[in-house]
Every structure is written in C-alpha cells, then in structure tokens.
Amino acid sequence: MAKHDMTWDEQVEKQSMDARGVAVDIRGVNKRFTTLEGNEVTALHDINLTINKHDFICVVGRSGCGKTTLLNMLSGFEKPSDGEVVADGRVIDGPSPRRGVVFQKPPLYPWLTVRGNVEFGMRMQGVASRERKEIAERYLEMVGLKDAGDRRPYELSGGMQQRAQIARVLACDPDLILMDEPYGALDALTRERLQNELLRIWFEKRKTVFFITHSVDEAIFLATRVIVMSAHPGTVKMDIPISIPRDPADPDNMDKVRADPRFAELRDMITAAIYEQDDQDE
C-alpha cells in the first residue's frame, strides 16, 4: 500500500514502528526575565518535553503562559536560564536553517515578488539559481500559489501571504517547523482552509511541527499530540495524544473530524485543563 493510501491510524502505526528518533529534547528548562523595575519573573518552570521526529505538536494555554517563549528557545532566538534544549543531539545555542519559523504576521519582503521571497532563504544558503527556482515553483504549487509567483506581497490577501511564508520556510527544507499562531489574524473560512492545507502538507512532507494556538479546536484538528500549559509560571500540565482519523484529501475532512465523538470529549477536557488553574485562583 502506498504511503498516501494509508488511513490515519495506519500512518500513525507506521510512524511508531519506524525508527523515528527524537527531534527535540527539552530538559529541565526554566526561563526568567528581569523587568524594568528590576524584579525577576519566572516565565517557564521545569519544562521537560520530548518531541519525536514527524510529531505534529500543538501547544495551548492562557495568554502569558510562556508558549512563545518556549518556541523562541526551540528556534534559538532565546536561551534558557536553566536546563537545555537539544535538537538532533546538539544543544540549541542560536538560530539555524534546520529550524524554520512561521510567524503570525508574514515577514515577507515587499520589494521582492512572491517567488523571490520563497527563493530568498535558499539564496542565503547558496543554492544555485536554477535549483532554487525549481524548488520555489514546487512549493508555490504545493501551497496553491502557482499563478501568484510574479505578484508582490501587498497584492496578496492575508491568507495568501501566510501561504507564501509557509512555502518559503518549506523551501529551505528544515527538520523542524515552528509556527507561532500563524492563523490567528485570519478570518474563519480562510483559517479552516489553511488548516486543512497544512495538514495535507504535513502528510506529504512528514516534517516535525511545533504549533502554538489559542484555539482548542484547531489544536485537536491538526495535532498528533496536544500540550496544555499552565501559567504563572508556565509548566507542561498535560500531554495528550490525538488519534482521531484525518484525511486532508477528503473535502469533508474537517466536518468528519468534528463529528467524531472523541473531538467533543477532547475539547471539553483540554478547555477544562486550561481554565482549571484560574478557577482555583479565584
């Protein structure tokens, strides 16, 4: 049976049988900041988390629980105060092309065409002109922007700009894709379309994804595991495997996922876990 003909459960089972290895190991991480008044604030406390290769991790939690801080340490933009973050056996001590970041607001260069933006990272990596043009075309087609390559970013809708950013990240072939609420500013219809598109790309490319969201529904729909963080300071409260079958090639994929009885059960459990601490503090 071809890989793309497998059911969701068969693909998950095959992944577990494969020697996937560990993509990222977060060990005893604390992160402290000093305020302008000189006070020390603990943003993250004793974070221990293993991310396997090909995992699609979604992280949810209240605002201020340290989700973006954790992503910044995975990307190498920040360093932990204590502990270490290890990727492929090496401590992360700075940014790397092996880790691509997709931001909520696409940082596209306005003076470049969409194709030029997708090629930019490859140009910085020294990829030959002909090869990077071929790769750019491949990923523009993958994200549905095949006919938009000669347009400028300001000529695109918000959803199209986000797809262009995703194409640019994928074109550099990172091992780990970090996504910080990439669909948070989009309208509901565009957001749902891009969720299914991202799931399709993940099915095809099998990259490791670390995805931050405030939407519990989005997390359940996309993830193989949902990480629930508590706040003040941020800690890993729950690590929940998601086994609902998904098929991004099915036009009714999202409706079928939501109709699965497990979807509502997971949504209630995760939502309760997010707000439980607030109820205890009142």
Residues 112-160: tens digit of each pLDDT: 999 999 999 999 999 999 999 999 999 999 898 999 999 999 999 999 9
pLDDT reading at 34 higher than 70: yes
Residues 66-110: tens digit of each pLDDT: 999 999 999 999 999 999 999 988 999 999 999 999 998 899 999
Identify the structural domains of the chain with CATH numbers, from first to last. 3-98+174-281 (3.40.50.300), 107-173 (no CATH)
Residues 119/133, Cβ–Cβ less than 8 Å:
yes
Q: Phi then psi for 24, rounded to 5 degrees?
A: -140, 140
Residues 171/135, Cβ–Cβ less than 8 Å:
yes
Handedness of CA 247, 207, 13, 271 (dihedral sign): negative
Instruction: Pick the closest to residue 104 from 209, 184, 177, 199 (CA basis).
Output: 184
Q: What is the pLDDT, as a whole number, of residue 189?
A: 86
